[in-house]
Amino acid sequence: MTDVAGEAKSVDLSDIDPAQRAAILVEALPYIQEFARRIVVVKLGGNAMVDEALAESFAADIVLLRAVGLRPVVVHGGGPQIGDMMSRLGKEPEFVDGLRVTDAETLDIARMVLGGQVNREIVGAINQHDHLAVGLSGEDAGLITATPRDPSLGFVGDVVHVDRGILDTLLDRGFIPVISTTAADVTGQPYNVNADSAAIAIAEALSAEKLIYLTDVAGVLTDMADPTSLISRLSATRARLLIADGVVAGGMIPKVEACLAAVGGGVGSAHILDGRIPHVVLLELLTDAGVGTMITRSDGGGS
Amino acid sequence: MTDVAGEAKSVDLSDIDPAQRAAILVEALPYIQEFARRIVVVKLGGNAMVDEALAESFAADIVLLRAVGLRPVVVHGGGPQIGDMMSRLGKEPEFVDGLRVTDAETLDIARMVLGGQVNREIVGAINQHDHLAVGLSGEDAGLITATPRDPSLGFVGDVVHVDRGILDTLLDRGFIPVISTTAADVTGQPYNVNADSAAIAIAEALSAEKLIYLTDVAGVLTDMADPTSLISRLSATRARLLIADGVVAGGMIPKVEACLAAVGGGVGSAHILDGRIPHVVLLELLTDAGVGTMITRSDGGGS
Amino acid sequence: MTDVAGEAKSVDLSDIDPAQRAAILVEALPYIQEFARRIVVVKLGGNAMVDEALAESFAADIVLLRAVGLRPVVVHGGGPQIGDMMSRLGKEPEFVDGLRVTDAETLDIARMVLGGQVNREIVGAINQHDHLAVGLSGEDAGLITATPRDPSLGFVGDVVHVDRGILDTLLDRGFIPVISTTAADVTGQPYNVNADSAAIAIAEALSAEKLIYLTDVAGVLTDMADPTSLISRLSATRARLLIADGVVAGGMIPKVEACLAAVGGGVGSAHILDGRIPHVVLLELLTDAGVGTMITRSDGGGS
Amino acid sequence: MTDVAGEAKSVDLSDIDPAQRAAILVEALPYIQEFARRIVVVKLGGNAMVDEALAESFAADIVLLRAVGLRPVVVHGGGPQIGDMMSRLGKEPEFVDGLRVTDAETLDIARMVLGGQVNREIVGAINQHDHLAVGLSGEDAGLITATPRDPSLGFVGDVVHVDRGILDTLLDRGFIPVISTTAADVTGQPYNVNADSAAIAIAEALSAEKLIYLTDVAGVLTDMADPTSLISRLSATRARLLIADGVVAGGMIPKVEACLAAVGGGVGSAHILDGRIPHVVLLELLTDAGVGTMITRSDGGGS
Amino acid sequence: MTDVAGEAKSVDLSDIDPAQRAAILVEALPYIQEFARRIVVVKLGGNAMVDEALAESFAADIVLLRAVGLRPVVVHGGGPQIGDMMSRLGKEPEFVDGLRVTDAETLDIARMVLGGQVNREIVGAINQHDHLAVGLSGEDAGLITATPRDPSLGFVGDVVHVDRGILDTLLDRGFIPVISTTAADVTGQPYNVNADSAAIAIAEALSAEKLIYLTDVAGVLTDMADPTSLISRLSATRARLLIADGVVAGGMIPKVEACLAAVGGGVGSAHILDGRIPHVVLLELLTDAGVGTMITRSDGGGS
Amino acid sequence: MTDVAGEAKSVDLSDIDPAQRAAILVEALPYIQEFARRIVVVKLGGNAMVDEALAESFAADIVLLRAVGLRPVVVHGGGPQIGDMMSRLGKEPEFVDGLRVTDAETLDIARMVLGGQVNREIVGAINQHDHLAVGLSGEDAGLITATPRDPSLGFVGDVVHVDRGILDTLLDRGFIPVISTTAADVTGQPYNVNADSAAIAIAEALSAEKLIYLTDVAGVLTDMADPTSLISRLSATRARLLIADGVVAGGMIPKVEACLAAVGGGVGSAHILDGRIPHVVLLELLTDAGVGTMITRSDGGGS
**pLDDT over 70 (residue E299):** no
Q: List C-alpha distances in Å: D162 to D38, D175, D206, E219.
A: 19, 19, 9, 43
Name which of A276, A277, A225 is nearest A249 in CA terms.
A225
- For residues B274-303, give the mean pLDDT: 83
CA–CA gap between residue C55 and residue C65 (Å, rounded): 15
**pLDDT over 60 (residue B179):** yes
Helix (H, G, I), strand (E, B) or coil at D141: helix
**pLDDT over 60 (residue F51):** yes
Cβ count within 10 A of residue E5: 17
Q: Name the pLDDT band for B107 (thresholds 50, 70, 90).
A: very high
Helix (H, G, I), strand (E, B) or coil at E18: helix
Top mean-pLDDT range of A202-206, C278-282, D8-12: A202-206
Average pLDDT, chain D: 90
pLDDT computed for residue D8 by the predictor: 47
User: F32 CB contacts (<8 Å, ≥6 apart)?
Assistant: E64, E67, E68, F68, F69, F286
With CB atoms and an 8 Å threshold, state whether A5 touches B288.
yes
Cβ contact B–C (≥3 pairs, < 8 Å): yes
- Calculate the CA D77 to chain-centre distance: 9
Cβ count within 10 A of residue B102: 20
With CB atoms and an 8 Å threshold, state whether B129 touches A33.
yes
pLDDT computed for residue D25 by the predictor: 92
The reply to whether E43 belongs to the active site is yes
Evaluate whether D70 touches D171 at the Cβ level (below 8 Å). Answer: no
Higher-scoring residue by pLDDT: A127, B9: A127
- Calculate the CA E251 to chain-centre distance: 17
pLDDT computed for residue F6 by the predictor: 44
User: D193 CB contacts (<8 Å, ≥6 apart)?
Assistant: D138, D144, D146, D156, D157, D158, D159, D181, D182, D183
pLDDT computed for residue C6 by the predictor: 44
Q: What one-letter code names the amino acid at E195?
A: A
With CB atoms and an 8 Å threshold, state whether E33 touches F287.
no
Q: Name the pLDDT band for F121 (thresholds 50, 70, 90).
A: very high
CA–CA gap between residue B216 and residue C16 (Å, rounded): 66
Instruction: Please enumerate residues of B whose Cβ is less than 8 A from a Cβ of C.
Output: 2, 88-89, 108, 111-117, 119-120, 123-125, 127-128, 131-137, 139-142, 163, 165-166, 169-170, 173, 175, 182, 184, 187-188, 190
With CB atoms and an 8 Å threshold, state whether E5 touches F63.
no
Beta bridge partners of B146: B159
Taking each continuous run of H as one helix and of E as one strand, the counts in chain F are: 11, 14
CA–CA gap between residue E302 and residue A130 (Å, rounded): 49
**Do β-strands E269-274 and E210-215 pair in parallel, antiparallel, or remain unpaired?**
parallel
CA–CA gap between residue C246 and residue C242 (Å, rounded): 6
Q: List C-alpha distances in Å: A7 to A12, A133, B21, C115, F31.
A: 11, 20, 14, 51, 56
CA–CA gap between residue B74 and residue B79 (Å, rounded): 16
DSSP letter string, F126-167: HHTT-TTEEEEETTGGG-EEEEES-GGGBSEEEEEEE-THHH
Residues of F with Cβ-Cβ distance to A119 under 8 angstroms: 115
pLDDT computed for residue F300 by the predictor: 57
According to DSSP H, which parts of F68-220 are helical?
A: 79-88, 104-113, 119-127, 165-172, 195-205
Top mean-pLDDT range of D218-232, F114-128, F242-256: F114-128
pLDDT in tens, D217-252: 889 998 888 888 999 999 999 999 999 999 998 888
According to DSSP H, which parts of A252-294 are helical?
A: 252-264, 280-286
Cβ count within 10 A of residue D274: 18
Beta bridge partners of C274: C215
Side by side, the strands of the sheet bearing D133-137 are D133-137, D176-180, D71-76, D39-44, D210-215, D269-274, D293-296, D233-235
Evaluate whether F157 touches F110 at the Cβ level (below 8 Å). Answer: no
Beta bridge partners of A190: A184
User: A121 CB contacts (<8 Å, ≥6 apart)?
Assistant: A49, A55
**pLDDT over 70 (residue F68):** yes
pLDDT computed for residue C13 by the predictor: 83
DSSP D140: G
Higher-scoring residue by pLDDT: F47, F82: F82
Residues of A with Cβ-Cβ distance to F175 under 8 angstroms: 141, 166, 169
Chains that touch A (3 or more CB pairs under 8 A): B, F
Instruction: Please enumerate residues of E whose Cβ is less than 8 A from a Cβ of D.
Output: 2, 88-89, 108, 111-117, 119-120, 123-125, 127-128, 131-137, 139-142, 163, 165-166, 169-170, 173, 175, 182, 184, 187-188, 190
Cβ count within 10 A of residue D132: 25
Q: List C-alpha distances in Å: C213 to C146, C218, C272, F109.
A: 22, 11, 5, 78
Side by side, the strands of the sheet bearing F210-215 are F133-137, F176-180, F71-76, F39-44, F210-215, F269-274, F293-296, F233-235
> What is the widest separation between alpha-carbon atoms in chain C?
63
pLDDT in tens, E2-46: 344 344 457 888 888 888 899 999 999 999 999 999 999 999 986
Q: Which run of H or E residues covers position E290?
A: none
- For residues A76-101, give the mean pLDDT: 88
pLDDT computed for residue E5 by the predictor: 39
CA–CA gap between residue F175 and residue F166 (Å, rounded): 11
Q: What one-letter code names the amino acid at F138?
A: G
**pLDDT over 50 (residue C8):** no
Distance from first CA to last CA of chain D, Å, rounded? 31
Evaluate whether B25 touches A25 at the Cβ level (below 8 Å). Answer: yes
D61, D140, D196, D274: the active-site residue: D196
pLDDT computed for residue C111 by the predictor: 96
Name which of E166, E48, E190 is nearest E111 in CA terms.
E190
pLDDT computed for residue A262 by the predictor: 96
pLDDT in tens, E201-257: 999 999 999 999 999 888 999 888 888 899 999 999 999 999 999 999 888 899 999
With CB atoms and an 8 Å threshold, state whether C188 touches B116.
no
F61, F138, F154, F196: the active-site residue: F196
Conformation bin of residue D250: beta by default, left when phi > 0, alpha when psi is -120 to 50: left
User: C258 CB contacts (<8 Å, ≥6 apart)?
Assistant: C196, C197, C200, C213, C270
CA dihedral sign, ordered B160, B166, B167, B169:
positive
Q: Name the pLDDT band for C3 (thresholds 50, 70, 90).
A: very low
pLDDT in tens, C53-69: 888 999 999 999 999 99
pLDDT in tens, D85-104: 999 999 988 888 777 799 99
**Do β-strands A293-296 and B39-44 pair in parallel, antiparallel, or remain unpaired?**
unpaired
Phi, psi of A146 (to 5 degrees): -110, 165
Evaluate whether A156 touches A197 at the Cβ level (below 8 Å). Answer: no
Beta bridge partners of D133: D176
pLDDT in tens, B20-60: 899 999 999 999 999 999 999 999 986 767 788 888 999 99
Task: Give the distance from residue C103's alpha carbon to the nearest chain D alpha carbon, in angstroms.
Answer: 44
Cβ count within 10 A of residue F40: 25
Q: Name the pLDDT band for F173 (thresholds 50, 70, 90).
A: very high
pLDDT computed for residue D175 by the predictor: 98
Chains that touch F (3 or more CB pairs under 8 A): A, E
pLDDT computed for residue B300 by the predictor: 57
Q: What one-letter code names the amino acid at F80?
A: P
pLDDT computed for residue F3 by the predictor: 39
CA–CA gap between residue F129 and residue F149 (Å, rounded): 39
- For residues F59-74, give the mean pLDDT: 95
CA–CA gap between residue F228 and residue E77 (Å, rounded): 53
Chains that touch E (3 or more CB pairs under 8 A): D, F
CA–CA gap between residue B109 and residue F295 (Å, rounded): 77
With CB atoms and an 8 Å threshold, state whether E169 touches D173.
yes
Name which of C112, C111, C126, C117 is nearest C42 in CA terms.
C126
Lowest-pLDDT range, A251-255, B210-214, C207-211, C255-259?
Answer: A251-255
Q: List C-alpha distances in Å: E42 to E45, E289, E296.
A: 10, 19, 16
Q: List C-alpha distances in Å: A176 to A35, A265, D111.
A: 16, 23, 59
pLDDT computed for residue C31 by the predictor: 93
CA–CA gap between residue C150 and residue C190 (Å, rounded): 14
With CB atoms and an 8 Å threshold, state whether B142 touches C120.
no
Q: List C-alpha distances in Å: D147 to D104, D158, E126.
A: 15, 5, 19
The reply to whether F210 belongs to the active site is no
**pLDDT over 50 (residue B8):** no
CA–CA gap between residue F20 and residue F31 (Å, rounded): 18
